[in-house]
């Protein structure tokens, strides 16, 4: 099989699976493992980009279950934090160094999924599964982003505090449509002449949203 045929096989599995996602991950892992080494990274990248995005008709039938009911929970307890830490490290390095997609997926596949910390096939499958369901996947090449000294950040906030208040006012008021709130927020940010101030206002907005989500999570739990 050539690379295109492997990619088509991945898409076929994703569009027909009827099992639990972790069980599907085992089938995808076996496809990657069986492929020639020089195209494994490309196939893994294809999985990362498509997993969870395709509708399935559930026509695929797999009677040979690989994972038992409690396996996922046990593997998460044993390896979840380690996988998160490894992925965080690779992502941080990739963004700072400006990795392209191929560099990133190669490093994730070789340094995490094939990491010696995961000794059994089931552990390696779980490592891949835990990566491809992470919200930070798929990967995109982006800039390192604007950095500002804390003093400069606070100074600009204080000098433009009324604008910050306006953002808070818009965020917490009710509108008939989401686009009304979004367009008002966007207008406030874009009408600022300084790019640095635009970035600061957006960061304030993101902090408020993140804080509200954390508080909601605490209330639920």
List, in sequence order, the alpha helices (H) in the chain: 3-16, 21-34, 37-50, 71-97, 101-108, 121-132, 150-159, 161-172, 178-190, 195-220
pLDDT at 118: 96
pLDDT interval class at 132 (50, 70, 90): very high
As a whole number of angstroms, the distance between CA 67 and CA 70 comes to 8
pLDDT interval class at 162 (50, 70, 90): very high
Among 45-59, 63-77, 197-211, which is the least confidently predicted range? 63-77
As a whole number of angstroms, the distance between CA 176 and CA 186 comes to 17
pLDDT at 221 over 60: no
Mean per-residue pLDDT over the chain, rounded = 92
As a whole number of angstroms, the distance between CA 134 and CA 138 comes to 8
DSSP-assigned letters across all residues of 196-211 = HHHHHHHHHHHHHHHH
Q: Among positive and negative, which fits the CA dihedral 153, 156, 159, 160?
A: negative
Nearest by Cα to 101 from 90, 112, 89: 90
As a whole number of angstroms, the distance between CA 126 and CA 86 comes to 14
Whole-prediction pTM: 0.86
167-196 pLDDT per residue, tens: 999 999 999 999 999 999 999 999 999 999
């Amino acid at each position: 099989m050539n690379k295109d045929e492997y990619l088509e096989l991945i898409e076929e599995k994703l569009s027909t699976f009827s099992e639990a996602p972790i069980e599907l991950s085992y089938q995808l892992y076996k496809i990657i493992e069986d492929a020639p080494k020089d195209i494994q990274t490309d196939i893994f990248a294809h999985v990362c980009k498509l997993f969870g995005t395709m509708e399935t008709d559930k026509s695929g039938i797999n009677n040979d279950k690989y994972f038992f009911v409690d396996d996922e929970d046990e593997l998460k307890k044993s390896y979840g934090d380690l996988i998160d830490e490894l992925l965080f490290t690779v992502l941080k390095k990739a963004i700072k160094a400006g990795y392209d997609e191929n560099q990133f997926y190669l490093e994730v596949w070789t340094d995490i999924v094939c990491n010696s910390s995961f000794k059994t096939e089931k552990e390696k499958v779980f490592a891949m599964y835990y990566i491809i369901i992470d919200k930070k996947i798929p990967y995109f090449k982006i800039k390192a982003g604007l950095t500002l000294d804390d003093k400069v950040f606070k100074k600009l906030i204080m000098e433009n505090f009324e604008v910050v208040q306006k953002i808070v006012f818009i965020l917490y008021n009710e509108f008939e449509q989401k686009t009304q709130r979004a367009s008002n927020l966007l207008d406030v940010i874009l009408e600022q002449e300084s790019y640095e101030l635009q970035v600061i206002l957006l960061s304030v907005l993101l902090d408020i949203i993140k804080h509200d989500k954390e508080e909601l999570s605490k209330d639920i739990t």
